[in-house]
Structure 1
């Protein structure tokens, strides 16, 4: 498959995604709407909108997968079949777990069980983080990573355009030529998913008309967890050989927004004596809004952080191995500063005062 064919496929899938979501909006106004009262809703928006965007994600992911699998290209014959089959099964499992949650409001433990199962499936198909010298420790880290990413992406889906935008840049960095394997299989499925997200963002950018729902966030989380292992944790084309810290730096840079948001929410809720597993309006994105940014500007800020992070990763991948050390130190400092800045929005006096004002029940 040539680059020209990939570009054509991307454009076609973007149009298909936009049309699919438009048709979903016409055909249904209630599918995916959970039975929540305004006070119980954990979303930033108080209006009810169909949470069906994730359906188009999965459809277009499958189309991309099948096109790559059956395309008459000798490069595809070298793919480790068990690996890409594992990715397909994990994404499918994440999709149906999210679909069940959107349809039936499943209990949190059931969702957690599905996420753990996704991690176990990755292990079964040989997709495992290579970090420790002990196989069992790497296996535990892989399962933890899968659960953490799926939850982080799910938690990040709290304002218009945020999760889709962040996912676009992570996948774009992953499918960039220097990071991709010699074949174009993963470039194709990542690019196809990006096309699905771009078409979805037409309707999800503020003011949104559609949500991705748990169907979309769990499916994306499963895909990003898999891609994270293959392209960031274990990618010898970008890390510094035999250095554990370079893996942590590259992963932190690629996933800086979901990592910062999850860590911030978890730390603050524990400090307040609350469960970190219950939804709320105390995310970093919310605090950027409390600080005075409009919803659209919050999405733009998050998009800029994600775009810069992805650009840094691509830049590092273009360097010779002996040139990377100093730049990895810079990436580590950059990721730490972004983490501090996003956490700082939750302790900035103006943001805190507005947050507490909005959190106080009226009488």
Structure 2
């Protein structure tokens, strides 16, 4: 009942707030304008979808906390403050287009605040190294979701599916609060998909993609402390798509002599379109692979099999996919 209530509440709230966000964006002309060679959409589309996701997650989580009388740990207040920083950063970037160094700097500040509040990866036992690992995980995943937000419904769908599988593992491990947050993310993103799936009526913008990546990263830090059966690799497997995209794009850009943070059309989704897949089929194919990653993770988790075997299998599969896609010529790749 807890799972259904969390998913349904955030889902309905997202259905309510997204049209409101769309109307506000249209009224104040907060649009993603198709005016550069990096833009792959042809119609100016409203932003602010990220704000509707954030508000839905916040209200849904608060409602479920009071409904089920869940104890609120101090760490949640620090997390909320960090999320406000990320939301402000993403919103500002959507309007004014900040420089990469500025964005990274504020993400590091938010991640450092989260660490101070108690959101920590304690993988090595060495505090200095664990601080670096925590900040790297949070900042990298925030930008990873930002990278895959290049096609209608892609980032929101991947966030919804991966968050759902991650929430099941959190709840099974007794991590109720993070399980609740991930369920709220899943429900809000599923609701947002009604308006974001191709052809999209509204985009989440950096406000949404950075927020989703940041909150998912923070909500999964506790998983790294479970070393039995190598459970610490579970979030890496389930979040394999945004992580793969980050590594894939970075390697291709470095190979081409381009800084990893410089925008290009090297994205795996655009390469699939170039191979002949439609936008919808590309996004659905990505969803199915995301479900595959989540399902195989659950199978290994509940069977208590060494998860490292699963990790190595997925790594081989993604490496092969990356090698094949790297051969695709992405010149003049477009999608509507």
TM-score norm. by structure 1 comes to: 0.84
**Structure-2 separation of matches of 1:330 and 1:221:** 23
Q: Tell me, yes or no, if structure 1 residue 276 matches structure 2 residue 260.
A: yes
Structure 2: give runs of 5+ residues left out of the alignment.
Answer: none
Could you tell me whether the CA contact under 8 Å between 2:111 and 2:138 is conserved in 1?
yes
Q: Tell me, yes or no, if structure 1 residue 333 matches structure 2 residue 313.
A: yes
**Structure-1 separation of matches of 2:21 and 2:131:** 40
Structure-2 change in CA distance of 1:148 and 1:283 (3 Å): same
How far apart are 1:337 and its partner, in Å?
1.0
Structure-2 change in CA distance of 1:180 and 1:114 (3 Å): farther
Counterparts of 1:55-70 in structure 2 under 5 Å? 55-70=51-66
| Residue of structure 1 equivalent to 2:236 | 252
TM-score norm. by structure 2 comes to: 0.91
| Residue of structure 2 equivalent to 1:48 | 44
**Structure-2 separation of matches of 1:61 and 1:304:** 24
| Residue of structure 1 equivalent to 2:128 | 136
Q: Tell me, yes or no, if structure 1 residue 300 matches structure 2 residue 284.
A: yes
Q: Which has the greater radius of gyration?
A: 1
Q: Tell me, yes or no, if structure 1 residue 172 matches structure 2 residue 164.
A: yes
| Residue of structure 2 equivalent to 1:267 | 251
| Residue of structure 1 equivalent to 2:67 | 71
| Residue of structure 2 equivalent to 1:88 | 80
| Residue of structure 1 equivalent to 2:187 | 195
CA offsets 1:71-95 (integer angstroms, 9 cap, x no match):
353xx23x5x122223322222211
How far apart are 1:250 and its partner, in Å?
2.2
Q: Tell me, yes or no, if structure 1 residue 233 matches structure 2 residue 217.
A: no
Structure-2 change in CA distance of 1:224 and 1:177 (3 Å): closer
SS of 2:253's partner is helix
**Structure-2 separation of matches of 1:72 and 1:194:** 19
Worse overlay, 196-205 or 28-37: 28-37
Give 2:19's match in structure 1, choosing from 13, 22, 29. 22
How far apart are 1:226 and its partner, in Å?
0.4
How far apart are 1:179 and its partner, in Å?
4.5
How far apart are 1:54 and its partner, in Å?
0.3
**Structure-2 separation of matches of 1:93 and 1:267:** 30
SS of 2:200's partner is coil
| Alignment size in residue pairs | 332
CA offsets 1:240-262 (integer angstroms, 9 cap, x no match):
26x5xx53x42331111111111
How far apart are 1:183 and its partner, in Å?
6.0
Structure-2 change in CA distance of 1:250 and 1:192 (3 Å): closer
| Residue of structure 1 equivalent to 2:149 | 157
